[in-house]
Structure 1
Amino acid sequence: MEVSEQYLPLEDLKHLMSDYPLQYIVCGTCAIDLFLDDYTHTRELMGLTVSRDEAEMLGDYFISKNYGLFIQTPLNTFEEINVDDIKQYNKYYVLDKTNNSKIIKVYIYETKDEKWQFRHDQNIEIEDYKIYFHCLNYDVEYLRPEIQMMYNLYHELRQDDIYRYQRLVQHLSYYQFFMLRKVIGKEKLNQVILSDT
Structure 2
Amino acid sequence: MAVSNSSKIKDVVNNLTENVPDLFKYNGEIAKQLFLHDEFNLNDKVDISVERKFLGEVLKFIPKDNIIKLHDGKNETPDFSNVHFSDVTHANIYADDELVMTVIVYDVENDEWMFRWNHNIRLPEKHIYFHSIKWDVDYIKPEIVLMYELLDPIDYHQLPNYRNVIDSLSYYQFVILRLVVGDERINQALISENRAI
TM tier, shorter chain?
A: 0.7 to 0.9
Contact persistence 2:129–2:138 (CA under 8 A): yes
Contact persistence 1:55–1:86 (CA under 8 A): no
Q: CA deviation at 1:144?
A: 0.5
Q: What residue is the counterpart of 1:52 in the other structure?
A: 52
Q: What residue is the counterpart of 1:93 in the other structure?
A: 92
Alpha-carbon distance in 2 for matches of 1:33, 1:24:
17
Unaligned runs of 5+ in 2: none
Structure 2 residue 73 is the aligned partner of structure 1 residue 111: no
Q: CA deviation at 1:151?
A: 0.8
SS in structure 1 opposite 2:126?
Answer: helix
SS in structure 1 opposite 2:18?
Answer: coil
| Paired letter, 2:121 | I
Q: Deviations over 1:70-104 (max 9, x none)?
A: 2369999x6422389460421112234xx344322
**TM-score computed with the length of structure 2 as normaliser:** 0.76
Alpha-carbon distance in 1 for matches of 2:89, 2:73:
14
Q: What residue is the counterpart of 2:167 in the other structure?
A: 170
Compute the RMSD of aligned alpha carbons.
Answer: 3.4
Give the % identical residues.
24
Alpha-carbon distance in 2 for matches of 1:33, 1:181:
21
Q: What residue is the counterpart of 1:139 in the other structure?
A: 136
Unaligned runs of 5+ in 1: none
Alpha-carbon distance in 1 for matches of 2:8, 2:133:
17
**Residues 103/187 of structure 1: CA separation in 2 closer, same or farther (3 Å cut):** closer
SS in structure 1 opposite 2:61?
Answer: helix
Q: What residue is the counterpart of 2:78 in the other structure?
A: 80
Paired positions, count: 185
Contact persistence 1:94–1:104 (CA under 8 A): yes
My pick for the range that moved more, 173-182 or 33-42, is 33-42
Which of the two has higher C-alpha Rg? 1
Contact persistence 2:51–2:106 (CA under 8 A): yes
Alpha-carbon distance in 1 for matches of 2:126, 2:98:
32
